[in-house]
Amino acid sequence: MTAPEEDPAARWLNGSFPGLDAASLYGILAANNPEFYVEVGAGNSTKFARQAITDHRLRTRIVAIR
């Protein structure tokens, strides 16, 4: 099942960010706990980054350039 784009929850079936990419991003953030995560744009990848930060209580701040 897909979710509306405005839904803040990370969704595996989202039409734009494949599952392996999502799992990789989540794992990289969880393993490295970077100070910043910077990305151009914001969307499903941002939702997975936020989920990793929340789940693992990371210090990471998201900086999305729109």
- pLDDT of 1-59, one tens digit each? 556 667 788 888 888 899 999 999 999 999 999 999 999 999 999 999 999 999 999 99
| Three-class secondary structure of residue 46 per DSSP | helix
Q: What was the pLDDT predicted at 10? A: 87
Q: What was the pLDDT predicted at 3? A: 61
* 61, 20 Cβ separation under 8 angstroms: no
